[in-house]
Chain A
Amino acid sequence: MTKYAITVKKLKKAYKDNEVLKGVDLQVEHGTMLALLGPNGAGKTTTVKILSTLLNSDEGQVTVGGFDVKRQPDKVRGVIGLTGQSAAVDELLTGKENLVMMGRLYRLTKQSALARADELLQDFDLVEAANRPAKTYSGGMRRRLDLAVSLIATPPIIFLDEPTTGLDPRSRIAMWNIITELKKQGTTILLTTQYLEEADQLADQIAVIDGGKVIAKGTSAELKKAIGNDRLVLAFTQSNYVKAKKLFVSEKTMQHNDEDHALSFALKNTTKDTSVILQTLQKADIAVAAMDIHKPTLDDVFLSLTGKKQAKSTDKEQK
């Protein structure tokens, strides 16, 4: 067995004249998580579809679990689980029926499918809803069921295509916990997302994809170094602003905005640095009018990686 669970080399795909993938290269080591980060239309879903055997590529080599996706699609299907963007569950079947059905289609025996379904319903907090049709589920519950379904046969490799898009913050955090747990158990995960924060929280490696190409790869720390840290933004009344500016004038990480009476600081350690700055202000008895911690967003990533604003989202990759 090689070091990598997933390898992608020079992957190309075009729909008619529209080149969606222009030579994507990726490797994912066994038991790690790679986040494919990019805006709508960057080619994330197309990549996942090719890797999960749903779509044929035009050019390039892809192996998943050591099998070639073009030549051995059935072998690949035996080792992967897929959670797509639209929650792909049968709405008229109950949560449990969905799980058992998919388990059987993964070739689990009846007893195993039933036992595993009960286990997953428990893990995903769906026991109470187990015998209700899936159409009565909330968005978050549906996503959880969808993810549970793709784990029914405990495949060693999981594809998660934007698993938290459209979820409320509480459901998103619940989903993150589940994904983190999966990673702990040694599952290899390829996750796509539009949110830098999500990639940062979950993934070992991040690949930034734009316009059908991977434009940057690295750990979250490496990428952040490239794009800058969190920033603390403080706003003051006019008189306090002058005093505060004088107080921090020698601070290199400080930038000032005279028009808005605001100071902003680049933070290395968000909690510690913020607390030091606030204490300094407190000692000097200067009141803060407004305060905000600005996290780098995907926009910042693109700004610093490409020097241009993120391309307007096109839905080209959706068919």
Chain B
Amino acid sequence: MARTQLQFEQKPAWVMSFVDSLVMIKRSSTHIVRNTDQLLGTFFQPIMFLVLFSAVFGGAISLALPEGVSYLSFLMAGIIVQTVAFGSTTTAVAITNDLQKGIVDRFRSLPMANSAVLNGHVVSDVFRNGISTAVMLVAGLALGFRSSASLLDWLLIAGILLLFTLSFSWLMAIVGVLAKSVEGVQWLSFVIIFPLTFASSAFVPTEGMNQYLKVFAENQPISQVIEAVRALMLGTPMGDHLFWAVFWCVLMLVIAVPIAINLFKKKTNN
């Protein structure tokens, strides 16, 4: 029996389910700091990608770029979006891990909101991706990347990336619920993300691709996000990229969130 008098929150249910999510966000965010292996990955993987790609492909590809655009400047938007996309797999891994260990059973025996577990992982993933992006920008600046973007452009870039990482993490949440093991997550997310990031304008201009691939590569969600960010960073014409980037991300969110939550409820009720 408690020696201190226990006080319970007396707030409406919707406030409490919000508090549940905050508690779970705190939990998942603490994981970012405590999981040292993952933390190293968060810092060094983006730097490694940036250095490798710009050094290996830079010379060959710069010939295909418009006058005055360096490969590093071209690459920046692509590699940030790619890193964020791969980074969102941690949501899937974390959810699969929770499901495999007994902790989800414990959460479910509590009077808490079910979706809070997923909210926690998705939001902490946004933090982690924010760290990766910042690291990459600093590394890019050190390597000679310069941008003509204004403060407002940068805020817009941050907004697009935020929306993208949120929507992609929710997509990965579905993978996390469906996968039976962490290995399964890695395989499944690789199959989804790798084609999407490579059959895109992330690393090379799409001019050289065959016509079918080109149509796909220019219109798929990740390319639209990359092109919108790139236009803002380099001051090139925006066209309708911003519209499509936001359209795809919102569409992904609207579809993925209810599916992920429902699958999670179903999976945990057996």
Contact = CB atoms under 8 A, between A and B. Distances in A.
Interface residues of A, number: 43
Interface stretch (A72-80, A237-245, A248-256): A72-80
A154 B1 contact: yes
B4 A77 contact: no
B109 A77 contact: yes
B112 interface: yes
A105 B112 CA distance: 6
Interface in B15-68: 16, 19-20, 23, 26-27, 30-31, 34-35
Interface string B105-141: 1111111100010000000000000000000000000
Contacts of B3: 119
Contact of B109 (A56, A82, A85, A104): A82
B270 interface: yes
A104 B23 contact: yes
Given A82-B105, A119-B4, A101 B111 contact: no
A135 to B, nearest CB: 9
Given A77-B109, A116-B4, A86 B16 contact: no
A102 B109 CA distance: 11
Nearest to B31: A92
Interface stretch (B5-13, B159-167, B225-233, B255-263): B5-13
A86 B102 contact: yes
A268 interface: no
B4 A53 contact: no
A85 B5 CA distance: 30
B48 to A, nearest CB: 25
A52 B103 CA distance: 14
Interface size range of chain B in the complex: 20 to 34
Contacts of A186: 1
A84 B6 contact: no
Contact of B110 (A85, A93, A106, A319): A106
B30 A93 contact: yes
A85 B34 contact: no
Contact of A53 (B20, B30, B108): B108
A101 B1 contact: no
Interface stretch (A17-25, A107-115, A275-283): A107-115
A56 B269 contact: yes
A263 interface: no
B2 interface: yes
B12 to A, nearest CB: 12
Nearest to A79: B111
Contact of A104 (B1, B19, B35): B19
B2 A149 contact: no
A228 interface: no
A119 B4 CA distance: 8
Given A86-B102, A112-B7, A106 B111 contact: yes
Contacts of A77: 109-111
A34 B8 CA distance: 29
B227 to A, nearest CB: 38
B148 to A, nearest CB: 42
Contact of B102 (A88, A109, A115): A88
Contacts of B2: 116, 119, 154
A77 B114 CA distance: 13
Nearest to B269: A56
Interface string B151-191: 00000000000000000000000000000000000000000
A68 interface: no
Given A74-B111, A82-B109, A185 B1 contact: yes
B110 A105 contact: yes
Looking at B23, B35, B101, B111, the one whose CB has the most chain A CB atoms below 10 A away is B111
Contact of A149 (B106, B108, B111): B106
Contact of B105 (A80, A88, A112): A88
A104 B35 CA distance: 23
Contact of A115 (B1, B4, B31, B109): B4
A101 B26 CA distance: 9
Interface in A110-137: 111-112, 115-116, 119, 133
Nearest to B8: A107
A105 B103 contact: no
Interface string B87-108: 0000000000000011101111
Contacts of A52: 109
A86 B103 CA distance: 9
A149 B107 CA distance: 11
Given A54-B108, A106-B8, 20 more contacts: A54-B109, A54-B269, A55-B270, A74-B111, A82-B109, A85-B102, A87-B102, A88-B102, A92-B30, A101-B26, A105-B23, A105-B107, A105-B111, A105-B112, A106-B110, A107-B8, A109-B9, A116-B6, A150-B106, A154-B2
Nearest 4 CB-CB pairings of A with B: A88-B102, A86-B102, A88-B106, A92-B34
7 contacts: A77-B111, A82-B109, A92-B30, A111-B7, A112-B6, A154-B2, A319-B270
